[in-house]
Amino acid sequence: MPTIQLNQHAIHYNVCGTGPDVLLIHGWASSWRMWERPMSRLASAGFRAWAIDLPGCGESDTLGASNGSYTIAHLADTVQAFAARVGIEHMALVGHSMGGAIALEMADRRADATRALVLVAPVVSGRLGLSLHVFFGSPFGRWLLELSQYLGVRTRVSRRTKFAAPWPVRTLLMRTALIRDAADLARTAPQAVLGTLHAVIDFDFTNRLSRICAPTLVVVGTRDITVTPSEGELAADGIPDAQLVRLRGVGHQPVDERPDEFDRLLVWFLSQTCRTTL
């Protein structure tokens, strides 16, 4: 993968195709690899698709030891700086989960540069499934998170939440995706794991939704217990003229759980929006 230096930190990314720019942003403790298949489909459809490893994830450097380095605002700073460095002037933003929060932040800051917005199981108000935001947002929960990086508990807890599926995983594609996600989690820096989870819990975009003016598509899974569908529904209700797609029986990973349907939907929406706004 190519690498660029941003403020003395190495940021890894991948790019393929030519045409209107699409910047894809992964979620918590993940990497650019979750977008590998959609990127290929976008390139075949005439787009230039970009995906980065966020700081501390994948092969990118960490931002430092402090959890405060990993706020949604700081992560959006990094993604914006990356776009500027590689020469992206106008783009469609696609974000999954925490990446959806980053995409919202960027679309609010740079309405002039945002041609379209796709939010997949997005974090909008910081409310996680199973009321995890209440527990991890408490002083005891935050202390336990800090302690867990030394005890190895964080990996087991993360697998039970991030990778929870509504039924046993039967397909080879989903098994492959779960192995990929587990590997991404294992190599995510502990300070990034903890810092970004704090960032998600502390994020609330509710009062700014009406300011988003880019054409927006929101995709949620009806069986998502990690970031409940109500988060995406909140975004669709608050963003003017946003379109909402509910995928029945799908959990937190629509990109992997319904690959063909997701790719078709993504290409269709971006073909309708990006090319008409050029």
Domains in the chain and their CATH numbers? 3-273 (3.40.50.1820)
**143-200 confidence digits (pLDDT tens):** 445 544 544 444 444 444 444 444 455 566 777 888 888 888 878 887 888 888 888 9
Backbone φ, ψ for residue 12 (5° rounding): -90, 150
| Average pLDDT of the residues of the chain | 85
pLDDT tens per residue across span 94-111? 999 999 999 999 999 999
Q: Can you spell out the DSSP letters for 47-58?
A: -EEEEEPPTTST
CA torsion angle 113 118 124 130 (round to 10): -160
Name 268's Cβ contacts closer than 8 Å, sequence gap at least 6.
Answer: none
